[in-house]
Structure 1
């Protein structure tokens, strides 16, 4: 399994604490610490699993 081949890939999620006004995004990668979330602007951030809620 690589960083783009995992069950949560492409799922929508909501941040428990908004980041720069964004609160909903899409899971686009898996990292050692958690996930990379991409927002509608194209910005991406790395989050821990306990910082998001899956739809």
Structure 2
């Protein structure tokens, strides 16, 4: 099993945070007109973070 050091952990977290930022930006830009309970950007950030986690785990396996 691969050893995880601080550099690898923070790199993975940076990837996930970047995906969350892009998800929030895209959902706010393209779906800002949709009336949903809460903020549409938070849904986009959650979807983006999930996509980032999936991208990191698919490379680790």
TM-score above 0.5: no
TM range, normalised to the smaller chain? Answer: under 0.3
TM-score w.r.t. the length of structure 1 is: 0.22
With a CA cutoff of 8 Å and minimum separation of 6, indicate the structure with the bigger relative contact order. Answer: 2
Higher helix residue share: 2
Higher strand residue share: 1
TM-score w.r.t. the length of structure 2 is: 0.22
> Which protein is bigger by CA-based radius of gyration?
2
